[in-house]
Amino acid sequence: MEITEYIDALRRQGDLLANAAERSGLDASVPTCPPWHVKDLLRHTGYVHRWAARHITECPDTVLDGPPEADILRGGAADPDLLAWFRAGHAALVETLSTADPGLVCATFMAAPSPLAFWARRQAHETAIHRADADSASGIRPEYEPGFAADGIDELIMGFGQRRRYRPSAGHDGGMQLRTTDTGDAWQVAAEDGRIQARRERDGSGSGASAACTVTGPASGHIFAASPTNQRMAMTSAVSPQSAIRLSHSG
């Protein structure tokens, strides 16, 4: 996907998130993020949007530290002004990314073609999956465009899955293959000696013979395996009956 496509997705998903929050109400529970309520979701995502934008405007050499989540959930605007505060931060992030110099240099935390490409992609998917959380407060399960959903899966497996902080415990070895039936994408993921080995298989190539299991389905369905738990974005995918890979969607 191109940077402009990610920014368009960010714009659209943020608008849908705000609409879903308004529909369900600030005090509605978020089933995918217990014990959060919609107002917690808005404060978390609104903070993340502002934090991400600072990397583009300030161009730091290292990823900016942030406060504890508990402080974030106490911040933002007062409840009556919270939706407007969220929308303002979202719009500012979209504008910041849209007008940024494509050659800017700033910190990132995963490999990408450029820093701008990283932050546009990361915030598009961050916002999209939190939009699903907002919809869950009204009992709605959204659909995503297949190519965008497959790209989100790729970010989780090939990006977050390679980070040291998300490695499984040593001794929990195994492997799986994940296939998307609507885009023809496939990924092989294996855990060995406390490390994750992941490989992308375009056009569904590869037999998956070495995998302990194969999971197939539409991309938009697979991305819901990335639903948040314990107040953070996480995806748990079975690698073997005794092990799992946990990939966080937050920085």
Which pLDDT score, from 0 to 100, does residue 225 have?
58
Which pLDDT score, from 0 to 100, does residue 227 have?
38
SS3 216: strand
pLDDT-derived band of residue 191, with 50, 70 and 90 as boundaries? Answer: confident
> Once rounded to an integer, what is the mean pLDDT over residues 216-225?
81
Which pLDDT score, from 0 to 100, does residue 206 have?
54
> Once rounded to an integer, what is the mean pLDDT over residues 198-209?
66
Is a pLDDT exceeding 50 seen at residue 226?
A: no
Exposure string of 156-184, with b = 16+ CB inside 10 Å and e = fewer, is: bbbbbbbeeebbbeeebbbbbbbbbeebe
Domain ranges of the chain: 3-136, 168-248
**pLDDT tens string 153-176:** 999 889 887 766 656 666 667 788
CATH architecture group of domain 3-136 = Up-down Bundle (1.20)
pLDDT-derived band of residue 241, with 50, 70 and 90 as boundaries? Answer: very low
> Once rounded to an integer, what is the mean pLDDT over residues 134-157?
94
> Once rounded to an integer, what is the mean pLDDT over residues 242-247?
30
